[in-house]
Structure 1
Amino acid sequence: MGPQTVNEFPGGKEADPIIGDFLMRNDLVEAVISCDAPMRKANMGTFWGAPSPGCLYDLTHRGENNDQLTVFAPSDQEGEVTYVRLIKDGSDGEAAIETFVSGPSNGGVEKSHLYRLRDGMKGLLITTTFNNLTSATKEVVTKDSIPRLRALHSVGKVQVADSNDPASRVGYACGWVEEEGSTIPTETVVLNPGERIQVTRFFAIGISPAEAYGEVAKRQGKTGILFTEINDDKGENVLTTEVEIEGEQGSLTAYTNEVGEFRVNLLPGDYRLTLHDHGRKRMIKEVTIH
């Protein structure tokens, strides 16, 4: 992005793009990958620690200017990088940005993160590759870093988090997927001399943690759809309901949309729904997803 296009940057409480960053967008979402400017940090003056060029700084629904993400650092990426560059401009239906760290600058382990986006995706597919260029074994960290989000926890194979202000109605989720020839890793991996490993995760956004979770879960395997419309005793749509979804894998929070509905992809199984709203009696429902 340059001086002539700064008006296209996404907005939000945590949005902090600068000139030189990379904007990715499709029909559903907008994302910002930080450029390789010296000492590039999320929230610049207020975010302490190592610089984080080449990381995902912003992710919001397209046109809503409601970014709530401080930074997503794939495989705990931090420190200066060799480069961040455009790989594909979207003309063939896919946009791709690559962050690259050379072996000599990283203890002999070459590392890259490839961010990809296509229409219809409510998030980014992020592939990390480690390549041990040395004659010794090397341990690498694959665990991702998602700081400064509320209620970050795991539900089965997916990490989910809410906005710091739930009224923002934005949730995020991230989970490993076996796509693009990738494997599902442990948090750390030991690479033998000359060994290479590739891992891919899907980082999703939704109007709630539950909705974002569903976007990841359906890429991991079979899911069913839980669709609910919430009305009061007069038949009017209720727009402010919070729904706790409890299942065998853990608990998720869902919020109704602007017409009092929510739609979530869930793994097959039994779930307990607890509906909360200000000034209304709590309601509990049991459902089964096939």
Structure 2
Amino acid sequence: MHCHLLRRTIPLLGLLLVCHCVSRSWAVDLVRLTPANYDRFAPEGKEVDAIYGDWVLRNDRIVAVIAAPVAGRNANMTVRGVGGMLIDMTTWDAPSDQLSCFYPAGGRYLFTDASQGAVVRDGGSPLALDGDHLGASEIRVSVTGNAINQDGTTATVTYTLRNGQDWIDYEVTIHNPAESPVELPIEDMLRCDGNLFRTGTLEDNQVFFAEDRYFGQCYGIQNFAGPIAKLGGRNMQLRPRENPLRKVTAAQPLQWQGVIACSQGLPGIRQWATSRRTQTGPRQLVVLNISDILGPVDHAVVELWQDGRSLGTVQSNDAGRVALRLLPDRYRVQVRSHGVADAEFSVDVGDRSIERTLELPEPSRVAVEITDGDGRPIPAKVQFIGIDGTTSPDFGPDSAISAIKNAVYTAHGQFTQRIDPGTYRVIASHGPEYDAATMTIEVAAGQQASVRARLPRVVDTSGWVSADFHSHSSPSGDNVSHQTGRVLNLLAEHIEFAPCTEHNRIDTYVDNLQELGATQLMATCSGMELTGNPLPINHQNAFPLKMHLHHQDGGGPQTDADPVKQIERLALWD
């Protein structure tokens, strides 16, 4: 429950310049990913799709990935034909890539010939798109592709990044060598998958945005051809609201320009859009660290207000951090989190970067300890159901890692969860072979309640192994669930063996188990589900298979329209 506001003011004293601990040789880098440099240069985030051979384009503010322009380059099962397209993009200040793909030219062309690519450094002569590492103050990368519908037209897409930009300029040029004109739309396409993304427009429809508040990434796109209209569903087609169709002839190519930006949240994109419209700035980096007596507060909802107008909300990341670039002004900041009343602060932004800690009051919370019948900690799922007028909590979306809807998943049976005051029925479980425990707790404002439960094993399964041979997460392309969260689900339900079976790529759960410190709790192996047409027959799981890290499809086989050939191919692979 969120009640009256607590007011505090943060003075503009003792400004702290926030620096990036990134080793750099030039203002802008273009780097081809290899086994030797991948961990150093690839971005971070749940939706990163970069593999060896892709190109990282980065400066002091953002890092993006242009997929290698080669045949068969797909991001996942449903995001396909991404060669030469922008497949990852995030900020250095709060890295969390959530981009599936941005397709300048609307996904109507395939860019599969790297020899048609070019690089221009600081306005110089074009260079071939090869080598491993280039640097400059400005880098332009161009790729050229052919029309999927074979109408004879070609498209050249150029990306430009300069030092100090948190956006990438793009340009599309379509050529028609034939005598007969071809009518084509000015159109780009955006894939930001999952039901967490909210979309809309800013600045009288000049800027289109897509924001994922929970995972902390917002994208803003401006097409200079005019105000933007969105068509389509999952494949978001972005075109001018007026006169999008143009005739393309040999004498008159079709050309348009635009920009794509990213920020941890909508307030940052809104300020970027305002800065472009009003030609004001520069925007300053503002870092807000949200904390309380338990430490950093993750997924606190931070709403920024300027001159009585809400700029939108952004959620703190797992480290309790919010990092946005804002125009100089005084901002009202409201913070909402589980277990405390809403808090209000004032933050002054001047002519340099600042970092502030916003301290919240002591939260109401519950400390949980779940063991087996012998008192040993075990993974568990713990549900909190509001009763006697108390609303059940909503800790996070079903694509999160551990705190999901009204439940918390734990790998080691212990956690402390912020929760609003009230009365709750608590159900702790560890799969069907163990007893579940049910109890009622009262949580007082600013106090800690306790849950301690023993879950004895009551079903003797000697000689048997509990297994799940079919599970998917975000790498599959048909959902956006965090892969670590999927593994945590399996642990909490006492699955003892689970191969990794993502759609159309060989993948592994080993790194997730290592992250959770749970390699001893569940056996696993790399595998895949090869999913083609016709369905449902062309839909097979196979394991173990050898995974080739950061290669296309994890080194896995391709689908085939003939189910027999597909099954044979999969059976004989590796």
TM bin, normalised by shorter chain, reads 0.7 to 0.9
Asked if 1:61 is matched to 2:91, the reply is yes
Quick one: which of 115, 122, 139 aligns to 2:166?
122
Aligned counterparts, 1:1-290, within 5 A: 1-7=33-39, 8-42=41-75, 44=76, 46-47=77-78, 50-62=80-92, 65-84=95-114, 85-88=117-120, 91-102=135-146, 106-149=150-193, 150-155=197-202, 156=204, 157-163=206-212, 166-177=213-224, 186=242, 188-193=244-249, 194-222=251-279, 240-243=300-303, 253-255=312-314, 264=326, 275=334, 277-278=336-337, 279-281=340-342
Deviation of the 1:91 alpha carbon: 3.8
The residue aligned with 2:386 is none
- In angstroms, what is the RMSD of aligned CA positions? 4.0
Higher strand share: 1
Contact 1:152 1:161 in 2 (8 A): yes
Map Cα deviations across residues 244-274 of structure 1 (whole Å, 9 max, x no partner): 7699xx98523377677865459xxxxxx89
- Where does the alignment leave 5 or more consecutive residues of structure 1 unmatched? 179-183, 233-237, 267-272, 286-290
Deviation of the 1:33 alpha carbon: 0.4
For 1:141 and 1:62, the matched residues in 2 are separated by 34
Contact 1:205 1:212 in 2 (8 A): yes
Contact 1:132 1:191 in 2 (8 A): no
CA 38–218 in structure 1, closer or farther in 2 if over 3 Å, else same: same
What secondary structure is seen at the aligned counterpart in 2 of 1:100?
Answer: strand
CA 105–143 in structure 1, closer or farther in 2 if over 3 Å, else same: closer
Deviation of the 1:199 alpha carbon: 1.2
Map Cα deviations across residues 214-254 of structure 1 (whole Å, 9 max, x no partner): 3244334445799999999xxxxx9934327699xx98523
TM-score, structure 2 as length reference: 0.40
Contact 2:185 2:246 in 1 (8 A): no
Contact 2:35 2:52 in 1 (8 A): yes
For 1:37 and 1:76, the matched residues in 2 are separated by 18
Aligned residue type for 1:214: Q
CA 198–213 in structure 1, closer or farther in 2 if over 3 Å, else same: farther
What secondary structure is seen at the aligned counterpart in 2 of 1:210?
Answer: helix
Which stretch has the larger CA shift, 193-202 or 81-90?
81-90
What secondary structure is seen at the aligned counterpart in 1 of 2:191?
Answer: coil
Percent identity, aligned pairs only, is: 20
Contact 1:52 1:79 in 2 (8 A): no
Deviation of the 1:87 alpha carbon: 0.8
Contact 2:248 2:254 in 1 (8 A): no
Contact 2:47 2:99 in 1 (8 A): yes
Contact 1:40 1:53 in 2 (8 A): yes
Q: Name which one, 1 or 2, has greater alpha-carbon Rg.
A: 2
For 1:73 and 1:99, the matched residues in 2 are separated by 12
For 1:2 and 1:95, the matched residues in 2 are separated by 20
Which stretch has the larger CA shift, 205-214 or 76-85?
76-85
Map Cα deviations across residues 102-160 of structure 1 (whole Å, 9 max, x no partner): 47984132211101111101021111112232222222232222223500211221011
CA 220–40 in structure 1, closer or farther in 2 if over 3 Å, else same: farther
- Where does the alignment leave 5 or more consecutive residues of structure 2 unmatched? 1-32, 122-133, 226-238, 291-296, 347-574
What secondary structure is seen at the aligned counterpart in 2 of 1:88?
Answer: strand
For 1:263 and 1:93, the matched residues in 2 are separated by 21
CA 231–168 in structure 1, closer or farther in 2 if over 3 Å, else same: closer
CA 97–260 in structure 1, closer or farther in 2 if over 3 Å, else same: closer
For 1:6 and 1:229, the matched residues in 2 are separated by 28
Which stretch has the larger CA shift, 52-61 or 191-200?
191-200
Aligned residue type for 2:341: R
TM-score, structure 1 as length reference: 0.74
For 2:282 and 2:312, the matched residues in 1 are separated by 15
For 1:229 and 1:40, the matched residues in 2 are separated by 37
Map Cα deviations across residues 149-201 of structure 1 (whole Å, 9 max, x no partner): 500211221011112xx2332211111248xxxxx955733124221232111
For 1:41 and 1:173, the matched residues in 2 are separated by 23
For 2:312 and 2:327, the matched residues in 1 are separated by 13
Contact 1:55 1:77 in 2 (8 A): no
Higher relative contact order by CA 8 Å / sep ≥ 6: 1 or 2?
1
For 1:251 and 1:144, the matched residues in 2 are separated by 29
CA 80–280 in structure 1, closer or farther in 2 if over 3 Å, else same: same
For 1:4 and 1:229, the matched residues in 2 are separated by 32
